[in-house]
Amino acid sequence: SLVAERVALVGDSGHVMHPLAGQGLNMGLEDVQSLVSVLEQAAQAGQDLGAPQVLNSYNKQRYARNLAMQGVVDKIWHVFGARAAPLVAMRSLAMSGLDGFEAAKKMLLKGMMA
């Protein structure tokens, strides 16, 4: 969870991500954007900004996405860290195939930036 009693974690305080894919900053900025939006809505409604239901709204928006991105980055690290010849060959073949498939590249990049 990214929240506790009257506390909301954002960025690296809420998730540690290997710098391999350069997604840590992006995820942190998305956390801030989401928290600001939730807090603005709560303030406009006259709610206590630290109330559990307010902070849980932020957690619902960010926790699953952060966890999914951490999983993707971890898998990338394992795939690109493999040294066994068959895995290196499969990785090279997959990357060559992806390089020639523009639609797949765009889809991956869009997923990383969403």
Look at the alpha carbons of 66, 68, 72, 77 in this order and tell me if their dihedral is positive or negative: positive
**Cβ atoms < 10 Å from Cβ of 74:** 14
Run means of pLDDT, 10 residues per run, the chain, 114 residues: 96 84 86 98 98 98 92 84 87 82 77 66
The overall pTM is greater than 0.85? no
Q: What does the pLDDT read at residue 113?
A: 65
Q: And the tokens for 36?
A: 């600001």
- Give the span between the Cα atoms of 22 and 36, in whole angstroms: 23
Q: What does the pLDDT read at residue 103?
A: 83
- Give the span between the Cα atoms of 65 and 68, in whole angstroms: 5
The answer for residues whose C-beta is within 8 angstroms of residue 37's C-beta and 6 or more apart is none
